[in-house]
Amino acid sequence: MDELVENLDAAKAQEKLEKVTSLCKRRGFIFPSAEIYGGFRSTYDYGPLGVQMLRNVKDQWWKTMVQFRDDVVGLDAAILSPPAIWAASGHLETFTDPLVDCKKCQGRWREDKINGVCPTCGSTTFTEPRAFNLMFKTQAGPVEGDGATAYLRPETAQGMFTNFSNVLNTMRKKPPFGIAQIGKSFRNEITPGNYVFRTREFEQMEMEFFVPPEDAETWYRYWVEERFNWYLDLGIHPDHLRKNEAAPEDLAHYSRGTTDIEFLFPWGFDELEGVANRGDFDLSAHAAASGERLEYFDQGLNIRYTPFVIEPAAGATRAMMAFLLDAYDEEDLDGDVRSVLRLDPRLAPVQVAVLPLSKKPELEEPARKVLRALQSVFRCDFDTTQSIGKRYRRQDEIGTPWCVTVDFDSLDDHAVTVRDRDSMEQQRIAIDQLVATLVASVQR
Ligand code: GAP
């Protein structure tokens, strides 16, 4: 019986993933990349609504991690980087996956992901595992050879370590302080998949927080809580989020403690973000390799030390997928199913849709005036096509929290009807109160 329920739940979860994937394509959130050429290996393009939503996720991260704090500053480092960085960081040697080939069908797999059985043909005979480095290697400039080798960064983190002194010297910071960065990273994943969960090109949101070594444990616990609460605050259901602290024997070579923040994806709990206490591994490794001193001199205490690093490392594209999955809902309205994305207004690509009840110029013109007033504060849509019911449904499906309808009464009472996405309740609001009323409903 339990197994039956589990199978049913798994099938439902899979169906939800398919529904969200289809909605994302149909409504302009996420398209398979290079689709007119048959697509390209688990790469995706973010359409008009997707690019906006992804930007909202990143903006919310930037606001909580940089703007609302006085101990974190921003950075945007280069994606192309010399081998020296990745030699020092350990990526050239250890950023590898064990790769095996199926002897029967020649399928190539990550050994640790297949439990000894080929997912294509079921065979159990494989070649010996080989270490496959996940970094994309390229060359900078017109001359080939060792001197020209460059890598696309597989994480944004190293930019913060290599700029540690630059930031320290220019920003008059002292530990505890952090450097934050959002940007693309690239990994030649052997088994990308599960939609945008694991792709070869993705966006990260990482922060390196430099602290006195004796305070590292306290800051590590602090950042686990902060980051966990960030997802809850933006609407992830508490039952769908958990912390998973790695056992000491499972820690990465640089880590003194790692807690993954996991979301209940359709295939089970899986990593959204990792928070790690990296000790002095990174600064010490780059100091040794570059010959530069990467330390902090505390004048008050007259001591020089290498700060420890606490790193909350999140995926922007992966977080967006979690927010989409958690927001997707279907509601039965007397036999008619309403699909709705219950996104937090801060994440919704469109916050307010202005919908004149008719296409007649005497309504469109005042409706555009309402639109212009709203546009200075909100992300807006303006739609005159189809019946008002169909327009509401379209906005529900893309997660728009409010629809503002301008009707013929508006010409006399100077008021509009505001429909709430979640309750579907409608309220008449004076046009001159509209912006203030909606502003009060959105957290910043
Ligand atoms: N600097 C540490 C670091 O990069 P990570 O756990 O490898 O740690 C951090 O990556 C986050 O980046 C992950 O929790 C995930 O959200 C995201 N991420 C990593 N690889 C990804 C991939 N192939 N596709 C999408 N997101 C990825």
| Count of alpha carbons within 13 angstroms of residue 159, beta-carbon side | 24
Cβ neighbour number for residue 211 with a 10 Å cutoff: 21
- Cβ of 217 closer than 6 Å to ligand 1, yes or no, is no
DSSP summary character for residue 306: P
Q: Are residues 248 and 362 in the same domain?
A: no
Q: What's the pTM?
A: 0.95
Q: Are residues 165 and 271 in the same domain?
A: yes
> Domain range holding 416?
350-443
In this structure, the residue with its CA closest to atom 2 of ligand 1 is: 313
- Cβ of 271 closer than 6 Å to ligand 1, yes or no, is yes
- Cβ of 97 closer than 6 Å to ligand 1, yes or no, is no
Q: What pLDDT is recorded for position 58?
A: 98
134 within domain boundaries? no
In this structure, the residue with its CA closest to atom 16 of ligand 1 is: 315
Task: Tell me the two tokens of residue 416.
Answer: 């509009």
- Cβ of 187 closer than 6 Å to ligand 1, yes or no, is yes
Nearest-CA neighbor of 16 among 329, 317, 343?
329
Cβ neighbour number for residue 193 with a 10 Å cutoff: 10
Place of tokens 């100077």: 414
Name the domain boundary from 290, 324, 358: 324
Kind plus residue range of the DSSP H or E element containing 229: helix 216-233
Ligand 1 centroid distance, CA of 440 (Å): 35
Longest dimension (CA), the chain: 79
Report the Cα–Cα distance between both ends of the chain, in Å, rounded.
46
Pairing of strands 426-430, 415-420: antiparallel
DSSP summary character for residue 291: -
Q: What pLDDT is recorded for position 252?
A: 83
Distance, in Å, from the CA atom of 401 to the CA atom of 345, rounded to the nearest integer, reads 6
- Cβ of 270 closer than 6 Å to ligand 1, yes or no, is no
> Where does the pLDDT of residue 253 fall: very low under 50, low under 70, confident under 90, or very high at 90 and above?
confident
In this structure, the residue with its CA closest to atom 25 of ligand 1 is: 198
Distance, in Å, from the CA atom of 371 to the CA atom of 353, rounded to the nearest integer, reads 8
- Angle of helix 361-375 relative to helix 431-439, nearest 10 degrees, comes to 40
> Where does the pLDDT of residue 123 fall: very low under 50, low under 70, confident under 90, or very high at 90 and above?
very high
64 within domain boundaries? yes
Residue 1 has pLDDT above 70, yes or no: no
Distance, in Å, from the CA atom of 199 to the CA atom of 318, rounded to the nearest integer, reads 9
Q: Are residues 272 and 361 in the same domain?
A: no
Q: What is the pLDDT of residues 103-121, one digit of tens each?
A: 999 988 999 888 899 999 9
Pairing of strands 402-406, 352-356: parallel
Nearest-CA neighbor of 273 among 333, 308, 232?
232
Q: Are residues 316 and 437 in the same domain?
A: no
Ligand 1 centroid distance, CA of 315 (Å): 6
Q: What is the pLDDT of residues 321-331, one digit of tens each?
A: 999 999 999 99
Q: What is the pLDDT of residues 288-335, one digit of tens each?
A: 999 999 999 999 999 999 999 999 999 999 999 999 999 999 999 989
Q: Are residues 358 and 314 in the same domain?
A: no
- Residues 6 or more apart whose CB falls under 8 angstroms from that of 111 comprise 98, 99, 100, 126, 129
Q: Are residues 302 and 400 in the same domain?
A: no
Mean pLDDT of the chain: 95
117 within domain boundaries? no
What 3 state SS string does 239-266 have?
HHEEEEECCHHHCCCCCCEEEEEEEEEC
Q: Are residues 196 and 309 in the same domain?
A: yes
112 within domain boundaries? no
Nearest-CA neighbor of 193 among 23, 10, 316, 42?
42
Distance, in Å, from the CA atom of 157 to the CA atom of 90, rounded to the nearest integer, reads 13
435 within domain boundaries? yes
Q: Are residues 419 and 367 in the same domain?
A: yes
94 within domain boundaries? no
Say if CB 426 and CB 419 are below 8 A apart: yes
Task: Tell me the two tokens of residue 52.
Answer: 């906006």
Residue 237 has pLDDT above 90, yes or no: yes
Q: Are residues 417 and 358 in the same domain?
A: yes
436 within domain boundaries? yes
Kind plus residue range of the DSSP H or E element containing 269: strand 268-279
Q: What pLDDT is recorded for position 3?
A: 76
Mutate to test the pocket of ligand 1, among 30, 190, 204 (most ligand atoms within 8 A of CB): 204
Q: What is the pLDDT of residues 151-188, one digit of tens each?
A: 999 999 999 999 999 999 999 999 999 999 999 999 99
- Cβ of 199 closer than 6 Å to ligand 1, yes or no, is yes
Q: Are residues 262 and 188 in the same domain?
A: yes
Q: Are residues 369 and 303 in the same domain?
A: no
Q: Are residues 376 and 424 in the same domain?
A: yes
In this structure, the residue with its CA closest to atom 24 of ligand 1 is: 198
Number of domains in the chain: 2
Q: Report which ligand 1 atom has the smallest distance to the Cα of 157.
A: 1
What 3 state SS string does 125-178 have?
CECCCEEEECCEEEECCCCCCHHHEEEECCCCHHHHHHCHHHHHHHHCCCCCEE
Residue 393 has pLDDT above 90, yes or no: yes
Residue 415 has pLDDT above 70, yes or no: yes
237 within domain boundaries? yes
Mutate to test the pocket of ligand 1, among 135, 202, 244 (most ligand atoms within 8 A of CB): 202
